[in-house]
Amino acid sequence: MESANLDRTVRLIHWNRAEAVQKAECLRRLGYQVLDDLPQGQDFLVRLRQDPPMAVIIDLSRVPSHGRDWGVALRQTGYTRYIPLVFVDGDPQKVEAVRQLLPDATYTSWEQIGEVLLEAINNRPKNPVAPSSRLAGYAGRPLVKKLGIMAGMHVILVDPPQGFIPLLEDNPTNVNFLNLKGNFLSPETSHVTGGVKPGLVIWFVRSLLELNGRVEKVFGLAGNAPVWIAWIKKASGMSSDVNVTHVRRVGLAAGRVDYKISSLDATWSGLLFARRDQRKSKG
């Protein structure tokens, strides 16, 4: 991989590996050094601070919510806020939603990337818009959509707070919820679900001891299903020693990758994890 200290270095974020290789080559033909590895947690922002590129280019044609979230994160962080941010392609409606959050970023197509990227680099933002929260992209969305709950899905709730299910208004049809206590977990969990494979697991964590002690069993229960790990917000006034950094670190160490963050309610926030190989195959 090229060193970020080389001149004319840009960072490309694209969620499909094969397409990322093609787009990176397009940028190289324009004379840029290209870094195109996918962002992995907070370390990605640290590396951008240490070796800031001339611009960050985010392709919105694949999983645009991830691109939006990383764009917001870049603008939320002081030392990356002034890096030119260029969004490329994507469904017009979803692009417009990103534009509402980040109106002074640059929006273009791959056909026009050469001229537009150069202009963005030569006109770095002087007073860039910084959304008030990294969860800004999820404001106003129904909770079921934030969580990814779909019709016919089997959803396992591990240690949910009282009254959580009623928050899931306008549930899709035929969604089956299974409420489990953390102490149910054993090495063999198929009997817990009656042999039914879950489509989604939502785990509510209240302490570091619980997070570290049960993460492998919860992921084992989930199998190939995505897993939300939710923690208590500091602003809620409730006591907890868990924060987003702890959750991300534990999930990554367990071989998963986080790809979505969301506020669940006034008390809980969550990170959504999937297997690394699944995120790569989905792009």
Q: What is the pTM of this model?
A: 0.55
Interhelix angle for 244-253 vs 208-222, to 10°?
40
- Please, how many CA atoms are within 13 Å of residue 283, restricted to the half-sphere of its CB? 13
pLDDT at 1: 37
Specify which of 34-43, 133-142, 157-166, 214-223 reaches the highest per-range mean pLDDT.
214-223
Query: Is 268 in a helix, a strand, or coil?
Result: strand
pLDDT at 179: 87
More confident residue, 130 or 203: 203
Residues listed for the chain: 283
- Band (pLDDT 50/70/90 cuts) for residue 182 is low
Eight-state DSSP code of residue 183: G
The alpha-helical segments, DSSP class H, found in the chain are 17-29, 42-50, 64-76, 92-101, 113-122, 143-147, 208-222, 244-253, 276-282
Q: Domains in the chain and their CATH numbers?
A: 9-138 (3.40.50.2300), 143-282 (3.40.50.150)
pLDDT at 134: 56
- Band (pLDDT 50/70/90 cuts) for residue 187 is very low
- Give the mean pLDDT of 82-96: 93
Question: What would the pLDDT profile of 104-127 be if each residue is shown by its tens digit?
Answer: 999 999 999 999 999 999 998 888
Question: What would the pLDDT profile of 205-255 be if each residue is shown by its tens digit?
Answer: 999 999 999 999 999 989 999 999 999 988 777 889 999 999 999 999 999
The Cα-based distances of 88 to 11, 40, 60, 75, 120 in angstroms read 13, 21, 6, 17, 13
Instruction: Write the DSSP assignment of 8-19 as a string of letters.
Output: TEEEEE-S-HHH
pLDDT at 140: 56
Question: What would the pLDDT profile of 6-23 be if each residue is shown by its tens digit?
Answer: 468 999 999 888 999 999
pLDDT at 4 over 60: no
- Give the mean pLDDT of 249-278: 86
Percent of the chain at pLDDT above 90?
A: 44
Instruction: Write the DSSP assignment of 249-261 as a string of letters.
Output: HHHHHTTEEEEEE
Distance CA 18, CA 78 (A): 32
